[in-house]
Structure 1
């Protein structure tokens, strides 16, 4: 229903006559069931994001938990071949052991992470009760072209680029040593296809690079790639959910044959180029001198 994202992001896909967009809501089971008729595979990516869940917890439970149950129920009734569920590294919370493998304790302390744990458990139960064939992919920090860069809920990468655009020093909250595992969106898409083709079922798999990048390193790289000379400023961390989250990627390699291909530098360069092109496309054309602007 385009709560996030926009139709223009799908223009290339829409050139294929087999692709159709249906505006709707996964909380509406009747519409969901009707729309999914005849589907062989379902990729379930609909969810409210981390900060949205923080601000709207009741809606988060409706969308991320009830909505996921609706998707799973429809998959069982329609007898789809496989459901691929977009879970999250948020289920782990802060690292107890690093890198985190899939047996890491579910140390989450956020509503968002709780909804993803619930989603995984719903699918596990539906597998037991109805034989639902599914895989849950625990995405780490995804970035790349078509990522939201406007509005209330934007990623740390986009906030840094916004500051650099305004010729303002990027702000780092805390000391910048908090570290994450950033994975390019094209790699994540490829992992979804591999998961759909896999014979494995009823399992959760990390989708990540296995490489640790601190916020200090991320800011330094973005400053370099944009040609800026600005240096970051540091402020006290007002709200930090996780400070250490890096994946073990052995299971994805073993059961899916998945390895991330895009290095962070290359992925950020692609993101920056797309962002500049997209910003130019949405900005109004300048009025020519002497022309009448209505």
Structure 2
């Protein structure tokens, strides 16, 4: 899809990843970018600097994907849609009914609106959670769905609905399976935040970071800026009815991650190791590293930010925004 002169709707555009996607789109020659967000997780502070661009606006009538009529009006005015709105993993665990309403029914509403309004292109945000724990590393897109949590189940449902809408209505879509995303604009203090903000908060409070287990569990950490760039590449690509890992392919253990953060923060705090609870041990994903080759081949995406560079960027953003995140 050519972006010149196009109107792009970014659902969840004030959120952690969404705000970076909006910024990446505004670096192209799109005609306009409209942010559709209910601000349950998104923040106006994430997008204030972007709204200075006359091509960027917030959809004034509302921004919840459960509001069918409002969503339909927003999609009607657009050429393409990037759908990032979702409840996060641990939030889904505690509130499964709301997770269904937002992640599954809400995604159905987006798909329905895209077909009804003849949208040229949809990029759907899925997750590596669909894979569950790795039976092989790195995980290719052919890895079986071993997911056992509510969040991953909602993303599997979203993927299945995308495929069904393509088969029934020829909807042009591509789906992206994000690995462990980190970076500026991620909520640093919420109960449902990620491992990197939790470690940084502990160190900034001069407290020992806590590692569950022995720290050998390993993941693929990818910067939000790289994820945003992949969204734009996916929008521009000719790929249809395909899903892609969005990651680095680099394996980093939680122990290695903590050591690197302590080094970058110039801290000599000693790490605390805590045994898993029985529930954590049962549901904990121990390894999740994505193979990046399909995305490189079809979308032209390869990561730019190494973990050290990405963490330095995040730490600098935290320093510049103390008390505001």
TM-score by length of 2: 0.85
> 3-state SS of the aligned residue for 1:195?
helix
Choose which of 204, 216, 222 in structure 1 pairs with 2:255: 216
CA distance in 1, matches of 2:190, 2:290: 29
C-alpha deviation, 1:152, in angstroms = 1.1
- Distance in 2 (alpha carbons) for counterparts of 1:275 and 1:86: 26
Distance in 2 separating the partners of 1:77 and 1:169: 53
After superposition, what is the alpha-carbon deviation per residue over 1:127-165, rounded to whole angstroms, capped at 9, x for unaligned? 011010000100000001111102211110001011101
2:36 aligned with 1:6: no
Deviation at 1:30, TM superposition (A): 0.6
Please give the alpha-carbon distance, in whole angstroms, between the structure 1 residues aligned to 2:50 and 2:147: 35
- Unpaired segments ≥5 residues, structure 1: 284-294
* Equivalence map 1:97-116=2 (5 Å): 97-116=136-155
- Cα separation, 2, equivalents of 1:62 and 1:84: 20
Please tell me whether residue 135 in structure 1 is matched to residue 178 in structure 2.
no
Q: Pick the aligned partner of 1:27 from 39, 62, 66.
A: 66
Of 302, 306, 310 in structure 2, the residue corresponding to residue 263 of structure 1 is 306
Match of 2:238 among 195, 199, 203: 199
Q: Is the 8 A contact 1:48 1:60 kept in 2?
A: yes
Provide the alpha-carbon RMSD of the alignment.
1.1
**In 2: Cα distance, 1:38 partner to 1:117 partner:** 29
2: CA distance between counterparts of 1:154 and 1:252? 27
Correspondence for 1:290: none
Q: 1:94 aligns with which of 133, 136, 139?
A: 133
The structure with the largest alpha-carbon Rg is 1
Task: Provide the C-alpha distance between the structure 2 equivalents of 1:149 and 1:5, rounded to a whole number of angstroms.
Answer: 13
Contact 1:178 1:244 in 2 (8 A): yes
Gaps (5+ residues) in structure 2?
A: 1-37
Between the aligned partners of 1:5 and 1:176, the Cα distance in structure 2 is: 31
The 2-side partners of 1:214 and 1:208 are apart by: 15
Deviations 1:219-264 (A, max 9, x none): 0000000111002110012325311000111100110111001110
| Runs of 4+ residues deviating >6 angstroms | none
